Structure 1
Amino acid sequence: MSPAQKAYVIGLDGGTGGARALLSDLDGNVVAMATHDYETTFPLPGWAEQTPVDWWRAACVAVRKLITGAAIPVDRIFAICADGTSSTVVALDEQLEPTMPAILWMDNRASPQARSMTQSNDPALRRSRLGVSSEWAIPKILWLKENRPEIFRRSRWFVEMADYLALKLTGKLTLGHNQITNRWFFDGRRGGWPEAFFSHIGLDGITERFPQRIVPLGTAIGKITPDAAEAMGLSWDTTVVAGGTDAYVAMLGLNVCAPGRTAFITGSSHLVLPMTDKDIEVPGIFGPHPDCVIPGLFVMEGGQVSSGSIIRWWHDHIGKALKPGEDAYAAMMREAAAIPIGADGLVALDFWQGNRNPYIDYDLQGAIWGMTLKHTPAHMLRALIESVAYGTANILRTLAGNGVPVETMVVCGGATRSAFLLQMHADVAGIPIIVPKVPDATAFGAAIAASVGAGLHASLADAAAHMVREDHVVEPDMTAHRRYREAFSFYEETYQALHPLMHRMARRNEVTA
C-alpha cells in the first residue's frame, strides 16, 4: 500500500524541555519525528515556570518539521493527540489567555499548602494517604489564591498543559479525565469532585473554574481549527483527540494495558507505573487511580522528581566544560562506567527537587558525601547516577512490600539511549527491563490514542497490542545486584540521617510571598 493510501496519526508530546511530534502508521511504524525546544525559568529556589505561548509555538514548529520530513500527503493524517507534563498548571482569563506563566510540574512552591492538605486527613486523600504532592495542581491553585490573589481573581479557568494544547488545536475548552484522576483528586467511581474537601482547604467553589467538559484519554474532542491547521500545515479535516499526563499516555506506547505489566518512564523524572486490577492502597505510593488509562483497571504511581535532570545538570554545568569539543554525554557515561560499584565510597541522594515517592517530602534536597582527595569528577557522576537507580529501587521495594510486586518493567525515555544506564537500573532492581522498538513511548502513546479517537482502532488496549513491539530485554547481573544492595543501605541511611537537617534548611530558605 502506498503512502497516499495509508492512514497516519500524530502524537504530540509536550515535554519538560520541548515539543516532540511523531508520525506513525496504524501498524506502529514510525515514519518521522521532529522536536523544538522551549525554556524553563527558575525565579526562586524550588520554583519552575514556562510560558504557554512557547509551547504552542514549539508544537507548530515540530509538526511542520515532521510533515516536511515525512513527505506524507496531509489528507492521510487523520488525527493528532497531545499529551503534556503534569501537574503543569495553566491559569486562563475570560478570553482564554494565560494570566501568568505556567507553574511547571517540578515546582514545589506549594509545599506549605500540600502539608496543610495532608493534615486534613480528608477521605479524598485515600490515594495519597501519606502525603499530598506539592507538584499537584490543587496545592498550586491554593498557593495562587493565598499568595497572588489578584492573579487568582483574574483567572477564570484552570487547566493542564495537555488541555491548553487541545484548546489551541480545537478552540474548545476541555479537561482531561486522565490528568484530573491522577493529579486533581477526581474519582469517577466515588462521585467525581470532592467538593467538601475543596471547601475545607479554602477552595470553596473552585470546580466552577474547571472546564465542565471532561474527556477521557483517546476520545475525539473535535476537528482542528482552520488557524491551527494553517499553523501546523495539517488538513482542516484532522481530528483532535484527548491526551493526558505524559507518563500515563506513555503506558499506551509501552503496551502496559493489562494487570501485571509495569511501565518505567525515564527522562527529567522517573516513573514506575504498574497496571493492576486491585483497588489497593500502598503507603508512600500514589493510587490506585481508577479508569484513567484503561477502563476497569487501576494505575499505581511511584515517581522521582529528579533523575535525568540531575544528569542533565551535570552535563550542562560540568560535563561540557570538562569535555569541550566532543560528545560530552558519551564521555561522561564512559568515565562513570569505569568507576566501581559504590563509587569508591561516595554516596549521593537524588532529592534535588524533593522526593515524590516513597517519602512524599518536598523539603528534601540533594546531597553527596564521602569525598576524599582520591575522588574525581567521574566518581561524583557515578554516585549521582547510582542515587537515581537507588531511588527507583526504593519505589519498587515499597510496592513489593505492600503486595504489588514488579517482576519486570517496560522502559522508555532518555535511559534507553544509554546501555550503561539501563544495565545499572536492571542490576540495582534485580529485574529484567524490556526495551520496545519505539523508545519514545510518550509521543508514540499519544499517536496510539489518536488512532482510537479517529475510529481507526477499536480500543486503546487493542491499538497498543497491535502497534507496540518489543526490541530486546536487559537482564540483571545478580552478582552486581548483591553489591548494589549493600551500597543501597548507605543511600537509605543517608536519608534517615540528613532529612532533619534538610527540613531545617528548607524552613530557612522558604519564601513567604
Structure 2
Amino acid sequence: MTASAGTDDQVVVGVDYGTLSGRALVVRVRDGVELGTAVHPYRHGVMDSELAADGQPLPADWALQDPDDYRDVLRHAVPAALAASGVTPQQVIGIGIDFTACTVLPTLADGTPLCELPDLRTRPHAYVKLWKHHAAQPQADRINALAHQRGEPWIGRYGGKISAEWQYAKALQLLEEDPEIYARAERWIEAADWIVWQLCGAETRNVCTAGYKGIHQDGRYPSRDYLAALNPGFAGFVQKIDGPLAALGARAGALTGQAAAWTGLPEGIAVAVGNVDAHVTAAAAQAIEPGRLVAIMGTSTCHVVNGTELAEVAGMCGVVDGGISAGLWGYEAGQSGVGDIFGWYVEHAAPDGFASHELLTEQAAAQPVGAHGLVALDWWNGNRSLLVNHDLSGVIVGLTLATRPADIYRALLESTAYGTRMIIEAFADARVPVKELIVAGGLTGNPLLMQIYADVTNRPLGIIGSAQGPALGSAIHAAVAAGAYPDVSAASAAMGRVERNAYLPDPGRARAYDALYAEYRRLHDHFGRGAEDMLLRLRAIRNAARSAANHARADEVALPLEVMA
C-alpha cells in the first residue's frame, strides 16, 4: 500500500473457486464490509461426457476440468471486482483463495499441469480431476479394505472409510489406468495449493487439504509398505504430495509480477495459504467457537465444526488438528448432492409448466408435513457421509398416480435435511457437541428449505450474513496473512457476520418430521448398509452399458482417420 493510505483504507481480496465458476470479492479490512465482487465462469465447465480437446467420450462417473480456467478467474474476476469496488490497487494488502476440496491435478516439478504439455492434451488422466469425479470407487474400496485388514491407525480418523473423491483413490486410479501419466506426474496437488503456487511462485501445502484429503495424521502419511501392498508401483506416492505444511492464515509468499499483471494487484502483497471453500467459511460465519456447525449448502453440502477433544466419528470425512482453525480439532462431514438434486429435477424431470424452482417451492410450501406420502434418499450423486460410497444412487418411495411435481420436489428438499440430521446425530453419538447450526451458501435464499432444515433437525438455524461466505472467509485469511490481525479468530470477530436464530423449529412440524425421518433411516440402512445391494448392481449394469457405447463411439470417431491412412 502507499504511504498516504491509512489503516482504515486497507482492503483484501478473497477468491472462491467453485464447481462452475470463480468469484472475487474485495473486502474492507477493518470491518469486513464487502465493496465489490465479480464472477467468471469456467470456459470448459465440467468435462463429464467428453474431453474438450478432441471430443473423445469419457467413461461413467468422470469429471475433469482445465486448469487454465482457474487462471482466467484471476485475469477477469479479480480486476472486475476491484473496478466495482471503487478502491485503488494500492489499497490492497493481501489476497486469499479457497477451492473445492479433492480437486487434484498432476504437474511437473515446476507446477506445469500435465494437460498443458502438447503431447498430453488428449490424455484424460492428464487433466484436473474435479471433486465430483467418482470413477475411483474401486480403488477407494481397496484402500479401505487393506487399511482395516492391516489395522492402519489413521483409518479411524476418517470414520472408517477413505472417499473415492480424495487424493489417494484418484492417484491409484491414475497409476492403474494410465501409468505413463502417473510416472510423469512429479507433483500431485490440490487445486487450492496449485493456484496459490501460480500466485506467489512457490509451492505450499495447507494443513487442511493435507489432513482431510491427503491422510496426513500425527505428522505422518500412510507408510510405504502399506502403499506398496495396494500396488507395488504406488509405494513412492507420498513423494508426489510431500512438502512443508503451512497453517491456515499463514503467508504463502508474495504476489509475483506475472500474477500482478493478471490481477491488476500490486506485486509483493501477501498471498495467504490455500484453503477449502467449506472450512474457510467458518471464519466468515463467526463459527470458530467449538460446537457451532456450519453447513455450506450449494451443489453439495459440507458440514464443519470445531471441537476441543479428539474423537473418531463413524462415516465422517475426517478430523484434523488445526483443520479449520489453529488449536482445535476440526471435524468435516458432507453430502455429495444437494442443490444438484433440486436442479436435476427442475431441469430434467419436472414436466412442462412446472420446471421452475419458484413455482415448485410455492406449491410445496402450501403442503402440510407428510401430505405427499413420500420419502427419498439423497444419493443422486452418491453418499459422502455416513456411508462413503459414491456408487449409491437416489431413491423415491411412495409414488402413486396422485403424486404431483411439487410433492416430489418437497420430498427431495426434505431428503437432504434428513441426511444432515444423520450427520448431526453421528456427531452427537461420538460426543462431539453441536450446539448451533449455521447455514451458508447459495441455498440460504430459499425460506422453505431453511425452515425444513430447522424443523427436521429441531434446531434453530443461523444464517451467515454474507452471500459470499467462502470468498469472505478467504479475505479474512488474507487479512491475517498480511499482518492486519494476529490470528483468524480475531479477524473473524471483526470481519465475519451471522444472523443467529433466523429460523426456529416449529414443535408440531418437528414431531411430524420425526416419524418421516424414522422411515428415511430405515430406507437408508436397507439400501446403504448391506441389506440390499440393488443400487450397486444397477450402477454396475449402467457403467458396463455406457462403457460399451463409448467404445463403439470411439471406434466411429477413429474410423475416418483409419480410412484416410
Interval of TM-score (by shorter of Structure 1 and Structure 2) = over 0.9
CA shift at 1:496, angstroms? 3.2
Equivalent AA in structure 2 for residue 9 of structure 1: V
| Residue 106 in structure 1 maps to residue 129 in structure 2 | no
| Residue 85 in structure 1 maps to residue 85 in structure 2 | no
Equivalent AA in structure 1 for residue 274 of structure 2: G
| Residue 21 in structure 1 maps to residue 24 in structure 2 | yes
CA-based RMSD: 2.2
TM-score, normalised by the number of residues in structure 1: 0.94
Equivalent AA in structure 2 for residue 221 of structure 1: A
Question: 1:257-268 maps to which residues of 2 (within 5 A)?
Answer: 257-268=288-299
Q: Evaluate the alpha carbon distance shift between residue 343 and residue 200 of structure 1 in structure 2; reply closer, same or farther with a 3 A threshold.
A: farther
**Separation in 1, partners of 2:159, 2:145:** 10
What residue number does 2:10 align with? 7
- Cα deviation 1:105-149 (Å, max 9, x = unaligned): 122111111111111222221212421111111110011001111
Q: Evaluate the alpha carbon distance shift between residue 41 and residue 342 of structure 1 in structure 2; reply closer, same or farther with a 3 A threshold.
A: farther
Contact map agreement 1:186 1:192 (CA 8 A) in 2 = yes
| Residue 139 in structure 1 maps to residue 172 in structure 2 | no
- Cα deviation 1:29-76 (Å, max 9, x = unaligned): 111221112211213332211111112113321111101111101110
What residue number does 1:425 align with? 453
Identity across aligned pairs (percent)?
30
CA shift at 1:201, angstroms? 2.6
**Separation in 2, partners of 1:320, 1:297:** 49
CA shift at 1:158, angstroms? 0.7
Which of 238, 241, 245 is 1:214 aligned to? 245
SS of residue in 1 equivalent to 2:101: coil
- In terms of mean alpha carbon deviation, does 250-259 or 458-467 score higher? 250-259
Contact map agreement 1:157 1:209 (CA 8 A) in 2 = yes
- In terms of mean alpha carbon deviation, does 100-109 or 4-13 score higher? 4-13
**Separation in 1, partners of 2:198, 2:5:** 32
* Structure 1, unpaired ranges of 5+: none
CA shift at 1:318, angstroms? 4.8
What residue number does 2:506 align with? 477
- In terms of mean alpha carbon deviation, does 334-343 or 1-10 score higher? 1-10
What residue number does 1:184 align with? 214
- Cα deviation 1:345-391 (Å, max 9, x = unaligned): 12211111211111122221012232222111111111111111111
Contact map agreement 1:264 1:273 (CA 8 A) in 2 = yes
What residue number does 2:37 align with? 33
| Residue 65 in structure 1 maps to residue 62 in structure 2 | no
**How many residue pairs end up in the alignment?**
509
**Separation in 2, partners of 1:510, 1:457:** 51
CA shift at 1:405, angstroms? 3.3
Which of 252, 270, 273 is 1:242 aligned to? 273
**Separation in 2, partners of 1:193, 1:83:** 26
Equivalent AA in structure 2 for residue 497 of structure 1: H
Q: Evaluate the alpha carbon distance shift between residue 394 and residue 159 of structure 1 in structure 2; reply closer, same or farther with a 3 A threshold.
A: same
**Separation in 2, partners of 1:21, 1:3:** 23
Contact map agreement 1:109 1:134 (CA 8 A) in 2 = yes
What residue number does 2:230 align with? 201
Which of 503, 508, 511 is 2:541 aligned to? 508
SS of residue in 2 equivalent to 1:90: strand
SS of residue in 1 equivalent to 2:412: helix
Contact map agreement 1:343 1:383 (CA 8 A) in 2 = no
Which of 409, 425, 431 is 1:403 aligned to? 431
What residue number does 1:351 align with? 379
Q: Evaluate the alpha carbon distance shift between residue 331 and residue 138 of structure 1 in structure 2; reply closer, same or farther with a 3 A threshold.
A: same
- Cα deviation 1:284-321 (Å, max 9, x = unaligned): 22332111222221011221001111112223335695
| Residue 391 in structure 1 maps to residue 419 in structure 2 | yes
Which of 75, 95, 112 is 2:90 aligned to? 75
- Cα deviation 1:467-493 (Å, max 9, x = unaligned): 122324211112111111111122222
CA shift at 1:340, angstroms? 3.1
Contact map agreement 1:273 1:302 (CA 8 A) in 2 = yes
- In terms of mean alpha carbon deviation, does 194-203 or 373-382 score higher? 194-203
SS of residue in 1 equivalent to 2:154: helix
- In terms of mean alpha carbon deviation, does 355-364 or 501-510 score higher? 501-510
- Cα deviation 1:240-262 (Å, max 9, x = unaligned): 11121211111111122222222
What residue number does 2:123 align with? none
SS of residue in 2 equivalent to 1:123: coil
What residue number does 2:395 align with? 367
- In terms of mean alpha carbon deviation, does 269-278 or 312-321 score higher? 312-321
Higher-Rg structure is: 2
CA shift at 1:19, angstroms? 0.3
Which of 486, 489, 494 is 2:515 aligned to? 486
Question: 1:438-453 maps to which residues of 2 (within 5 A)?
Answer: 438-453=466-481
Q: Evaluate the alpha carbon distance shift between residue 198 and residue 249 of structure 1 in structure 2; reply closer, same or farther with a 3 A threshold.
A: farther
SS of residue in 1 equivalent to 2:372: helix
